[in-house]
Structures are given as C-alpha cells and as structure tokens.
Amino acid sequence: MVTAARLFSSFPSLPKLKSTKIFSPKSSLIKIKSRPHSARSISILASSMDSPFYKTEDARVPPAVNMPTPLLSKFKIALCQLSVTADKERNIRNARLAIVDAVDKGAKLVVLPEIWNIPYSNENFPVYAEDIDTGASPSISMLSEVACTHKITIVGGSIPERSDSNLYNTCCVFGSDGKILGKHRKIHLFDIDIPGKITFKESDILKAGDNLTIVDTDVGRIGIGICYDIRFPELAMLYAARGAHLLCYPGAFNMTTGPLHWELLQRARAVDNQLFVATCSPARDTSSGYVAWGHSTLVGPFGEVLATTEHEEKTIVADIDYSFIIERRANLPLGNQRRGDIYQLVDVQRLKTK
C-alpha cells in the first residue's frame, strides 16, 4: 500500500512559496501563494472565482438582485416581547402601549410576536380569528393607526386570520403611512411530535400560505417568516437573493426546541445570508397550555447577537446599520464564490412572473 508520506516523498522538492497579490474585480484583494516562473498557475488561481466554468451567477435562478438603497440605512429597531392573556382587547391595548414606548425610545421599526393577541392554541384560532381583508380586524386597525400616527414601520407579529372558510397564521407589515405593505401567511406549519415532550399540529386547524413576502419599507427591504418558517434555509436564501437587508421572524418556540434551536437558527440564517435577522417571541407564561421560550433577539450579518432579552415581558431597542452588510460581504465574498456549475437555488415564483 502506498502511504501519503511515501507518495509525497517521491516528488522532487519544490521551491519555497512566495506571496503574490492579485486584484479580482469581483472580490477584494486576493493574496495567493505562487512559485517562481509559474505565471500560468498564478493566472488560473487568480481567476478561479471569476471563471465562466464556475457560473457564479447561475447559482441563483433567476440571478440575485442587489439590495436597494433604503430611506434609512441606520435606525433603531424595537422587539416587543409581550405578555398574552385570554382577553384580546387587553392584549391589543398592551401591544399599543409597547409600540408607543418603543417610539419614545427612538425606534423606527417595531416588531411584535407571533400570535400576540390571543393565547397560542388550535382551540383558540377559530374562536378569535379576524377577517383582515374586509377590515373587520381590531388588531390590524390598531397597528395601522399607530404606524400612521408615529410614522414608523411595523412588522405586526401574527394573528389568526379568517379568509372565507380558511384559517391562517398571518403577519401584516405596515408602512409609515399606516397602509399594509405585505401580508405573510405562514408557509411551513408547525407539525411536530417529540414523544414525552411536545406534540402540536397546526395543520389540523390552519391552512399554509403559498407566497413569499418581501416588502420595501422606509427601513429597508424586509423578508418575512413566521416561527417554523425559520427552520427552512431555502426561504431565507430566496429573500437574500431578492435583495433583503433584514429578515423578521415573529415566533413562539417552546421549552423543548427553544433552548437548543432558537438562537442557533437565527444566527445560521444571518451568517448564511450575511444580513440582519430579528425575531420576536411572546413572553413566557408557565400557566399557559403552550409555554413560549421567549428570548427575542437581533442578530447581525456576521452571526453576532446584537441584542436579546430573557423570557419576561420586555421591549428591547437596538441599532441597525446596513453598512455592516456591505462590510461583511466584502470580508467574506460568498456571493462571488458560489458554484453555479454544481448547484442552483431556483426562485419558482420569480420565474413564473418573468
């Protein structure tokens, strides 16, 4: 048998490597190692990321789009981790107070939790569901009014929505004029069975949404997911390919999956796509039938936790600066290193609308 040591010892000794710096138009300065009189090798190494054989642009179908320039590239975001009771009117008043408090602290973007207006349960969804499209929704009316009054953007957590005979877990995004910019119906329903821990099946009551939701706001291009949606990296990758600055996931992870997966998934989505990720949970209520993990969090494009809270009711306010996205993508130019000759991410809906 030929060992690695014997194999390499059979080759003649090679000259000592020296550093060569080459500028690639699609990346930062590249520093490579080359041997004397090996100009051809240098050329191949330097152009490897830009090689037509790698088909970098083909890694996203259709090709990825650039992030737009938002009205505000530096601003404060507020994550309102709300206590939820069986009294919907009280929950709506409480949410309004939390939003106004966030505005007083300088927030231009406010994010609410998943199912913040009623306790989270399959039994409650049909009882408390609101018809958003017809305007018969006190929760949506409050969010629209407060967004317009204070000239802020609101990612309105989620509420149970009734549409015809269907029920959805729905998040509305409001512009600073109070108008709904987008409505995201939870795409991936929370159906899990961990014996001895937790069993839940949203699909017994709810219908899954069929569309991605990405909206242009005063505070940037935002991609929306709800709770279980965060487990699917494809969704986040599609949002990034559509030019998102920020992904917002209202979510209510539980006491089984929360400790292990909540922060892990947020940081993974952020570092994979080199953008900001914000999550907002209900506060923990140990007397509830469904106990939320809490820990609403903002993660930066390097996977760093920028702000977080514990499990109690609390609003956290943190700074977002989109220049860090550009900086981190220059540090790690993943977008110029993808291998379209090996793999592709296909945005089916964008292809259909072309």
Q: Mean pLDDT per segment of 10 residues, for the chain of length 354 residues? A: 38 38 34 37 39 83 97 99 98 99 99 98 98 97 99 99 98 99 99 97 98 99 99 99 99 98 99 99 97 98 98 98 98 96 97 88
Longest dimension (CA), the chain: 81
- For the question of residue 186 being annotated catalytic, the response is yes
Tally the domains of the chain: 1
Domain assignment present for residue 58? The answer is no
Q: Specify the CATH number for the domain of residue 267.
A: 3.60.110.10
Q: Exposed (0-12), middle (13-18) or buried (19+): which is 42, by Cβ within 10 Å?
A: middle
Domain assignment present for residue 26? The answer is no
Domain assignment present for residue 246? The answer is yes
Q: For position 54, what pLDDT does the model report?
A: 83
Q: Which of 76, 130, 186, 263 is catalytic?
A: 186
- For the question of residue 148 being annotated catalytic, the response is no
Cβ of 338: how many Cβ atoms within 10 Å?
Answer: 21
Helix axes 263-273 and 233-241, enclosed angle (nearest 10): 30
Q: For position 53, what pLDDT does the model report?
A: 72
Domain assignment present for residue 39? The answer is no
Cβ of 97: how many Cβ atoms within 10 Å?
Answer: 14
Domain assignment present for residue 100? The answer is yes
Q: Which of 114, 130, 161, 263 is catalytic?
A: 114
Domain of residue 257 covers: 74-335
- For the question of residue 26 being annotated catalytic, the response is no
Q: For position 52, what pLDDT does the model report?
A: 62
Distance of CA 143 to the CA centre of its chain: 22
Domain assignment present for residue 128? The answer is yes
Q: Exposed (0-12), middle (13-18) or buried (19+): which is 352, by Cβ within 10 Å?
A: exposed
Domain assignment present for residue 351? The answer is no
The single-letter DSSP state of residue 254 is B
Place of tokens 């039938």: 289
Q: Which of 80, 171, 172, 227 is catalytic?
A: 227
Q: For position 281, what pLDDT does the model report?
A: 99
Domain assignment present for residue 174? The answer is yes
Q: For position 193, what pLDDT does the model report?
A: 98
Cβ of 296: how many Cβ atoms within 10 Å?
Answer: 30
Q: What is the DSSP string of 128-156?
A: H-BBTTTTB-HHHHHHHHHHHHHT-EEE-
Q: What is the distance between the alpha carbons of residues 334 and 328, in angstroms, rounded to a whole number?
A: 10
Q: For position 45, what pLDDT does the model report?
A: 36
